Amino acid sequence: MKPSSQFRLLGPAFAAATLALAVVAPAQASSLCAGDFLTSQVHPWPAGVSFNVPLREASPTSKARSQAFRAGLQTAGLVLDAQGQATMNVVFSISPGRNPKPGSAKAGVYNDLEWRPKSAPGSAANDPSLAGNSLNLTVIVSDNRAYQQLWIGSLACTVKTADTEALARDIGTTLGKVLVSAISQR
């Protein structure tokens, strides 16, 4: 059998095996954006793993939300360190709900927590247009020393608050709990 024929046979089997490893972990702790995490453990966790969580902080708004998100991760028990062994990359996607309000949060994909770049000063923590929007979060955790992915997760939920900092903290706490659970099962 030619190598290319072997790959064609193994490709679907590999994809099926990867999907079989996916686990749905309820994100019950999140009341501000309840949904389910779909996760997949790619490689074993290193012992004593600490996390670098790089988020672009282009404005006071995104800086406050980033701090709240990281605080939620720490509340759940993750160890954060700018020089950590694992890097957590997050991508947020916001899309209007069924009945978008005038001035709704701008739909798009963000690698930071700046969902409304032109928020008025002082309004960063309160954004009534965010409630009712769909939020999708994709997380990829990579091992910086072994140069490989460790864990992949995604969350789809509907935002139930206008308090963006509380939302960021709540998502961080929920994600942190899911990761702590995954690490403890190694």
Look up the pTM and report it: 0.79
Q: How many CB atoms lie within 10 A of CB 122?
A: 9
pLDDT in tens, 85-116: 999 999 988 887 666 666 555 566 766 677 65
- For domain 21-184, the question of CATH label 3.40.50 is answered with no
Q: Which of 22-31, 46-55, 76-85 has the lowest mean pLDDT?
A: 22-31
Question: What would the mean pLDDT of 113-140 be, rounded to a whole number?
Answer: 72
DSSP 8-state symbol, 68: H
All structural domains of the chain with their residue ranges: 21-184
Confidence category of residue 185, pLDDT binned at 50, 70, 90: confident
Q: Residue 88: what residue type?
A: M
Which DSSP symbol is given to 137? Answer: E
* Mean pLDDT within 55-64: 86
